[in-house]
Amino acid sequence: MTLRAPSGPHGARRTPFESVIGLEVHLALKTRSKLFCGCSAETFGDAPNVHVCPVCLGLPGSLPVVNRAAVDLAATFALALGCRITPQTQFHRKHYFYPDAPKNYQISQFDRPVGEAGVVEIGGRRIGITRCHLEEDAGRLVHPPYADHSLVDLNRAGAPLLEMVSEPDIRSPEEARLFLEHLRAIAQSLGVSDAAPEQGKMRADVNVSVRLPGEPLGTKVEIKNLNSFKSVQAAITLEARRQVLLREAGAPVEQETRGWNEGGQKTYVLRTKEGSADYRYLADPDLPPLHLDEVAIARLRGAMRELPEAKRERYVALGVRAAEAELIVLDVPQATMFDALLEAAGAIEPRPTPHTLATWLTGEVAHARKGAEGTLAPEDIDATALVALIAAVEARTITLTSAKELLGDVLAGADPATLIEARGLRQIGDADALGAMVDGVLADHPEVAADVRENPKALNALVGRVMRASGGQARADAVRALLQERLRLDPDGG
Amino acid sequence: MTSAVQIAKEVRSGGRSAVDVVTEALDRAAASQARTNAFVTISSERALVAARRIDDVVRSGREPGPLAGVPVAIKDNICTRGLRTTAGSAILRDFVPPYDATVVARLEAAGAIVLGKTNLDEFGMGSSSERSASGPVRHPLDPGRVTGGSSGGSAAAVADGVVPLALGSDTGGSVRQPAAFCGVVGCKPTYGLLSRYGLIAYASSLDQIGVLSRDVEDARLALAVMSGRDPLDATSVDAAVAPERALATSDAPLAGVRIGVVRELMGEGVAPGVRSALTALRARLEGLGAAVVEVSVPSVRLAVATYYVIATAEASSNLARYDAMLYGARVAVAGDDQERSMRRSRAAGLGREVQRRILMGTFVLSAGSFDAYYRRALQVRRLVADDVAAALAGVDALLTPTAPTVSWPLGARLDDPLAMYLGDVTTCIANLAGAPAVSVPAGIAEDDLPCGAQFVGAPFDEGRLLSIAAVAARS
């Protein structure tokens, strides 16, 4: 996939200003238990306050003990982003008073994060990764309408989060979105996170500033709590436009934190620089530094699953078009499906090419999955049946039209061979049978045949009639050849 | 008063029932409570239920544990499942933990019986046990005086003969100093030897649960039962204390033992009576075969300041959770202004000294003062630990007075926090270094009141340290 020019225009207005964008992304780590206790980390949709214990409630006397699986996932993700792993990583307490934090501090990381100084390459541009660190999630405040109180749900409190901070290397809202798509694909490929924004498992804060090319960095504004890729893109676009308008009016941009109003599609001030918090970071005395030595790092590297970038290169080497390969790997369920198709194709003759499979997957299959609105998970699809269907088209056993008709049933689990026979969709390629049909049509429509003799370009009118007579099963190219032969036309003319 | 070792022996053999032991202890507790206010809660029912269970186990011939039937008192900042645990604070006056501290679970598994929860300075912050929401603890020998603190209730309960064994917690001397004031044994083991899970944190990197007893061997047995790594405390260590004594009894039980008297802690600021008691002890130790030399811990003059920077910094963090949102005494405010509710609950529920330390700790961790105070304190802490290790290099244990003075009259230092803090100089070095230390009675020093001698050993060398202390205590 090619990127737009790095410093694109914002919205419809043309402006000489460029946007400078950095992202902070929170990923919910896919562990069984929370970061510092044994409670389940998978609480989405459950009744409030059922996944809690003395530790994640911060009861007096309770102590955190780190979940090593979360550390491994965080380090794996950091490695995938090319980060340097900190040999003795340390947890710090970040203090703020709010009822979503039962201890009134969050256990996070400060000067010794799990990983630092990485880089992600997208579309030929390098986006620097400042750091990847572990921290515990907060609970959730619920504000019942018209009530004089708020409610607290601490199911999520203590769930493991990975926070990734990028360098301000991103230059457009579109690039920000593409970067997020890459992160999601990496996280999902590695099994580090479901990275599902709609479940709150991937959240982003963005830092935006504008400048004229060549100027030093401008004053940045942070926009917090963006819950979809679409809102990230929209918020950056609008914030950059707001700042450009200020600059053009000669007004300064104030350093502040803004929130995102999804309904109104606008940002609003959360706090200004004067109100910035002093978190009083303190190395958590309850959690000794964790050692991640060379052996541990080598073990994590060894266990690492194939990354989207490696997958993309593999697909391209197999003959898949670059744009399709990118499309497939950025959608991890689709990539999983594609690998299954490639494997299934190995056992089928004639074998459809990876290129053909990719075209089907990103075209007809993607369309069908979209139509099924998420009820069609890739793991539910029988790859062998799907490949058999595609192979039947390749072998000219059925027409493309028939295949498209059957796709829905095959994705739902039907066997294509049985369907083809049951519905009599096998193409008629037999010369005698087709000859009889062609002769029948010519005899029934002498006036059309005469027209075609005069004007060979009108041959399709006859081809159509034969196809209809065959119930769509005649092989169109064979019909065409027979007609040309019967009418003694020059094959190149029709 | 019978020792824990002796009670367990009698109960295990069936010679005495645990119910009898506990009933007698409850009678003594009630009598003592009226004079000393040592307890926040006396758990009569729970204790009798446990005692009956121990007697059943003994009768059925099963193993009742090495502390079978021994009544113990638990400092009220150590969580007990289903038994109110206040930490001496108004904000936790109704807090009933849904879980046991690991040390409590291990004591009970060994057959010990929790008789009650002892009074303390709020959250362990104090050296006199006067700053408790349940009122001050009074000295068993002189009700006009303090027991020391913050484990004053545990010290009083042991000194008054209510229980042979009690748990305290020691952040800067809170087990050893009241033990010295009350004339009993107080042991703060190596940081990490005992799990802190369930200990309501004051300063996590310094806090360590300790034991108060009349007999050193009772302390040893209790440590043996409670030590060992706890998966619920990442700072706990897989180390053990052998339950048996190591030194043979003979004419010269300390032959070959080298003891270092810390020069800096025998001079100015130490009351004359305390100094002479220590000098007399030194002579007795030499008489028992020990080689006593002078050693130096130069950084000792920085210890109190360092201790208070680190302890208050951690306290400001640890005590942030007491906002009365989820538990604790809440001051309700109109509407859903949670910040006002938090502020007013903390102002009403936390005592003056606690608030003072939270403010100091918040200050030293703040952006403008972190480097000048907290970072520097961590550096000096390293220095103190190195000095203690260097002083221990040539000797088996360091010897100091446990506290520079004997007990003082109630209220005498309440308006002078600095004087109160300075008394921690002798004890807080062991917390800063993470080293084990034990205080044993060193005789009557002044005003008919006892003083203590403190032995500091190398980390995880409790076995030898307790053996030396046992000989000193008998001398």
* Confidence tier at A381 by pLDDT (50, 70, 90): confident
Cβ(B426)–Cβ(B402) under 8 Å?
Answer: yes
Cα–Cα distance list, B229 to A71, B91, B171, B195, B226 (Å): 22, 31, 20, 7, 9
Say yes or no: A107 and A254 in one domain: yes
Q: Residue ranges per domain, chain B? A: 4-226, 258-300+375-454, 305-372
- Domain-located, residue A44: yes
The first and second tokens of residue B221, run together, are: 């047995």
Instruction: Return the number of CB contacts < 8 Å for A and B.
Output: 104
Interface with A, mutate which of B74, B81, B314, B326 (most A CBs under 10 A)? B326
pTM: 0.87
- DSSP E strands, A138-296: 140-142, 151-153, 160-166, 202-211, 221-226, 256-261, 266-272, 282-283, 290-291
Q: Do B335 and A148 touch (CB under 8 A)?
A: yes
Say yes or no: A320 and A452 in one domain: no
* Separation between Cα atoms, residue A306 and residue A309, nearest integer Å: 8
Angle separating helix axes B352-365 and B300-318, nearest 10 degrees: 100
* DSSP annotation of A83: P
Largest CA distance in chain B: 75
B229 Cα to chain A: minimum distance (Å): 13
* Confidence tier at A494 by pLDDT (50, 70, 90): very low
* Confidence tier at A1 by pLDDT (50, 70, 90): very low
Q: Is B385 a residue whose pLDDT tops 90? A: yes
For CA atoms B79, B82, B88, B94, give the dihedral sign. Answer: positive
Which of A60, A152, A287 is nearest residue B79 as measured by Cβ atoms? A60
Say yes or no: A183 and A321 in one domain: no
Place of tokens 């010290």: B155
Angle separating helix axes A308-317 and A173-190, nearest 10 degrees: 90
Q: Do B327 and A59 touch (CB under 8 A)?
A: yes
Q: Are strands A160-166 and A125-136 parallel, antiparallel or unpaired?
A: antiparallel
Q: Is A126 a residue whose pLDDT tops 90? A: yes
Q: Do B99 and A288 touch (CB under 8 A)?
A: no
Q: Do A285 and B196 touch (CB under 8 A)?
A: no
Chain A contact set for B363 (CB, 8 A): none
Chain B contact set for A282 (CB, 8 A): 313-314, 317, 365, 374
| The pLDDT value given to residue A4 | 39
Cβ(A257)–Cβ(A266) under 8 Å?
Answer: no
Domain count within chain A: 3
Of A110, A81, A77, A80, which Cα lies nearest the Cα of A95? A110
- Domain-located, residue A101: yes
| The pLDDT value given to residue A11 | 46
- Domain-located, residue A271: yes
A89 Cα to chain B: minimum distance (Å): 15
* Average of per-residue pLDDT across B311-320: 97
Q: Is B243 a residue whose pLDDT tops 70? A: no
- State whether residue A489 is helix, strand or coil: coil
Say yes or no: A415 and A441 in one domain: no
H or E segment to which residue A14 belongs: none
Q: What is the pLDDT of residues A253-283, one digit of tens each?
A: 888 888 887 777 777 887 776 556 789 999 9
Omega before B150 within 30 of 0, i.e. cis: yes
* Confidence tier at A14 by pLDDT (50, 70, 90): low
Report the range out of A53-62, A399-408, B242-251 with the highest average pLDDT. A53-62
Task: Give me the residues of A, 149-188, that contact B with CB < 8 A.
Answer: 149-150, 152
| The pLDDT value given to residue A492 | 56
B212 Cα to chain A: minimum distance (Å): 21
Q: What is the pLDDT of residues A425-479, one digit of tens each?
A: 676 666 677 777 778 887 888 887 778 777 777 778 778 887 777 777 777 777 7
The first and second tokens of residue B239, run together, are: 């180390």
| The pLDDT value given to residue A13 | 54
Say yes or no: A277 and A180 in one domain: yes
Q: Is A489 exposed, middle or buried (0-12, 13-18, 19+ CB in 10 A)?
A: middle
* DSSP annotation of A249: T
In terms of CA atoms, which chain A residue is nearest residue B343?
A97
H or E segment to which residue A333 belongs: helix A332-345
Q: Is A144 in the B-facing interface, judged by CB distances under 8 Å? A: no
* Confidence tier at A7 by pLDDT (50, 70, 90): very low
* Separation between Cα atoms, residue A323 and residue A92, nearest integer Å: 43
On average, the pLDDT of chain A sits at: 84
Which residues of B are identified as catalytic?
A: 75, 150, 174
Cα–Cα distance list, A4 to A14, A127, A175 (Å): 15, 15, 8
In terms of CA atoms, which chain A residue is nearest residue B101?
A61
On average, the pLDDT of chain B sits at: 94
| The pLDDT value given to residue A6 | 39
Cβ(A92)–Cβ(A105) under 8 Å?
Answer: no
For CA atoms A404, A409, A412, A416, give the dihedral sign. Answer: negative
- State whether residue A47 is helix, strand or coil: coil
Q: Is A278 in the B-facing interface, judged by CB distances under 8 Å? A: yes
H or E segment to which residue A235 belongs: helix A229-248
Residues with Cβ within 8 Å of A277's Cβ and at least 6 positions away in sequence, in order, are A96
Q: What is the pLDDT of residues A318-350, one digit of tens each?
A: 888 888 888 888 888 888 888 888 877 777 777
- Residues B378-393: b if buried by 16+ CB within 10 A, e if exposed: eebbeebbebbeebbe
* Separation between Cα atoms, residue B386 and residue B376, nearest integer Å: 15
* Separation between Cα atoms, residue B202 and residue B354, nearest integer Å: 10
Cβ(A206)–Cβ(A22) under 8 Å?
Answer: yes
- State whether residue B445 is helix, strand or coil: strand
- State whether residue B260 is helix, strand or coil: strand
* Confidence tier at A356 by pLDDT (50, 70, 90): confident
Domain boundary (A367, A396, A422) is at A422
Say yes or no: A265 and A338 in one domain: no
The first and second tokens of residue B338, run together, are: 């949670």
Q: What is the pLDDT of residues A176-185, one digit of tens each?
A: 999 999 999 9
- State whether residue B313 is helix, strand or coil: helix
| The pLDDT value given to residue A275 | 59
Domain spanning B4-226: CATH 3.90.1300.10: yes
Q: What is the pLDDT of residues A71-91, one digit of tens each?
A: 999 999 999 999 999 999 999
Which of B98, B342, B365 is nearest residue A282 as measured by Cβ atoms? B365
Cβ(B304)–Cβ(B424) under 8 Å?
Answer: yes
Say yes or no: A264 and A406 in one domain: no
Instruction: Give the residue with greater pLDDT, A478 vs B29.
Output: B29
H or E segment to which residue A416 belongs: helix A416-422
Q: Is A3 a residue whose pLDDT tops 70? A: no
* Separation between Cα atoms, residue A269 and residue A258, nearest integer Å: 4
Cβ(B438)–Cβ(B187) under 8 Å?
Answer: yes
A86 Cα to chain B: minimum distance (Å): 20
> In this structure, how many other beta carbons lie within 10 angstroms of the beta carbon of residue B76?
31
Q: What is the pLDDT of residues B65-116, one digit of tens each?
A: 999 999 999 999 999 999 999 999 999 999 999 999 999 999 999 999 999 9
Domain boundary (A367, A393, A422) is at A422
Place of tokens 């070095």: B429
Q: Are strands B185-188 and B208-213 parallel, antiparallel or unpaired?
A: antiparallel
Cβ(B289)–Cβ(B254) under 8 Å?
Answer: yes
Task: Give me the residues of A, 112-141, that contact B with CB < 8 A.
Answer: none
Domain boundary (A264, A299, A334) is at A299
Chain A contact set for B98 (CB, 8 A): 54, 59
> In this structure, how many other beta carbons lie within 10 angstroms of the beta carbon of residue A333?
14
Which of B199, B316, B339 is nearest residue A61 as measured by Cβ atoms? B199
H or E segment to which residue B1 belongs: none
* Confidence tier at A245 by pLDDT (50, 70, 90): confident
How far is CA B463 from its chain centroid?
18
- Domain-located, residue A491: no
* Separation between Cα atoms, residue A25 and residue B384, nearest integer Å: 42
CA angle B226, B313, B344 (to 5 degrees): 100
Of B179, B186, B141, B146, which Cα lies nearest the Cα of B160? B141
Of B202, B219, B173, B144, which Cα lies nearest the Cα of B350? B202
The first and second tokens of residue B141, run together, are: 């020998």
B446 Cα to chain A: minimum distance (Å): 38
Omega before A350 within 30 of 0, i.e. cis: yes
How far is CA A142 from its chain centroid?
30
Say yes or no: A50 and A172 in one domain: yes
- In the chain, the amino acid numbered B43 is S
Which of B196, B320, B362 is nearest residue A103 as measured by Cβ atoms? B320
Q: Do B320 and A104 touch (CB under 8 A)?
A: yes
Q: Do A99 and B201 touch (CB under 8 A)?
A: no
Q: The CATH number of the domain where A472 resides is what?
A: 1.10.10
Angle separating helix axes B376-392 and B425-433, nearest 10 degrees: 90
User: Residue A402 sits in which domain range?
Assistant: 308-422
